Amino acid sequence: WVARPMPHFVEALNANALRGVRIGAVKEFFGRNPVELPVSKVVRSALTRMQQAGAEVVDISMPQLEAKALSASVIAFEFRDNLAVYLADHPAAPVKSLGEILQRGLYLAELRDDFMLLDTSPGTSSSQYAKAMANRAALQALLRQTLTAHKLDALVYPTVRREPSLIGDPQTDPNCEPSANSGFPAMSVQAGFTPDGLPVGLELLGAPLSDAKLLAFGYAWEQLASPRQPPLYTPPLEERAAPHPVAIKVAIVADPVKAEMDFNFDRVTGRLSYTVAITGLPADEMLAVSLHQPVDGGTDGPVIAALAPPGRLTHAGHIALPVSARASLHQGQLYVSLLTKQNPR
């Protein structure tokens, strides 16, 4: 692991870099809970494609990896003092310490608990820090031993076991810990998308100074799979500005009843605004106007939004379309239904 030349990244790029490599899939880092299975399925599918490109993928068991990685974290011991050193090198900074940031309220509310913990944790001269550094060495030894014993070029696992968290929700996932707490190089690449259209990454972790090799693996995967898809909710700019909303008109006619819906879809925010106007029908006969999304490639599907409540012949509103519904709208698959007492289904 020592006396090795520094990597040269550009020269290492090779579209055939996956051919003949041996990659170990860490079984314990693939989720087994129902909420984790969609991500695992996408990553497994990506590994199958890598095998088709000439890579050898083997399942390996590392039951101690998660615990060893979590016990090797040193950020809580180093952050406060390292930040103070950084601020001391910038005498014009308006604050001098993390404690001052907390005292003056110069932080986001969501970060308060983390900052309080970092400000009160033992420092780098503590016995706890020494233990964490010993755990770090044990983690490094485990990774070296596994890579060597199985003759692996890299370990692989989902970057995160679950779909991306909603904004504001915590992201508690141990898969980023092995690289962060060992110092071993790792690279996350796009593996694909869940059925809901959310991105999934896979992480490749290698031995020290294997950075260029990992980059070559990622480059080869990119050439093979072209896994990125421009998100529907981040459309290209039009003349350096966000695109205008898309106007859609829908009419349901069953003489003498006529229901007209005007939709405006904001491709940037995913907001769907609408108006509903129904004629030729007594108000007490109207049951519902609903927006549907087909499932599993069929033509029928469940209600994803109620556009008008019972008895309302005119109505207006807006909804935030989920990612999968935006894709269905883009493909022309969403549809509207009008239910009346005479036609309740």
Provide the residue ranges of all domains of the chain, joining segments of one domain with +. 9-225, 246-340
Give the pLDDT mean for 282-311: 92
Dump pLDDT digits (tens) for 44-98: 999 999 999 999 999 999 999 999 999 999 999 999 999 999 999 999 999 999 9
CB 40 within 8 A of CB 158: yes
CB 231 within 8 A of CB 193: no
Q: Which CATH architecture has domain 9-225?
A: Alpha-Beta Complex (3.90)
CB 323 within 8 A of CB 197: yes
Pairing between β-strand 154-158 and β-strand 22-26 as defined by DSSP bridges? parallel
Q: Is residue 326 predicted with pLDDT exceeding 80?
A: yes
Q: What's the pLDDT band for 3 if we cut at 50, 70, 90?
A: low
Using a pLDDT cut of 90, give the percent of the chain over it: 78
User: What whole-number distance in Å separates Cα of residue 120 and Cα of residue 141?
Assistant: 30
Please report the pLDDT score of residue 7 as a whole number.
77
Dump pLDDT digits (tens) for 130-179: 999 999 999 999 999 999 999 999 999 999 999 988 777 777 789 999 99
Dump pLDDT digits (tens) for 245-268: 999 999 999 989 999 999 999 988
Please report the pLDDT score of residue 166 as a whole number.
78
Dump pLDDT digits (tens) for 212-251: 999 999 999 999 999 888 776 677 788 888 888 999 999 9
Give the pLDDT mean for 298-322: 93
Token pair 């935030």 is found at 320
Dump pLDDT digits (tens) for 166-181: 777 777 789 999 999 9
Q: Is residue 288 predicted with pLDDT exceeding 80?
A: yes
Token pair 């909710």 is found at 233
CB 113 within 8 A of CB 102: no
Q: Which of 31, 287, 23, 299 is nearest to 150 (CA)?
A: 23
Angle between helices 127-149 and 75-88 (to 10 degrees): 110
Residue 253: exposure state from Cβ atoms within 10 A (0-12, 13-18, ≥19) = exposed
Q: Strand pairing partners for 303? A: 292
Mean pLDDT score of the chain, rounded to an integer? 93
Please report the DSSP string for 9-49 in residue order.
Answer: HHHH--TTTTTT-EEEEEGGGS--STTTHHHHHHHHHHHHH
Asked whether the CA dihedral 145, 148, 151, 156 is positive or negative, the reply is positive
Q: Mapped to the 3 state alphabet, what secondary structure does 91-137 carry?
A: CCCCCCCHHHHHHCCCCCHHHHHHHHHHHHCCCCCCHHHHHHHHHHH
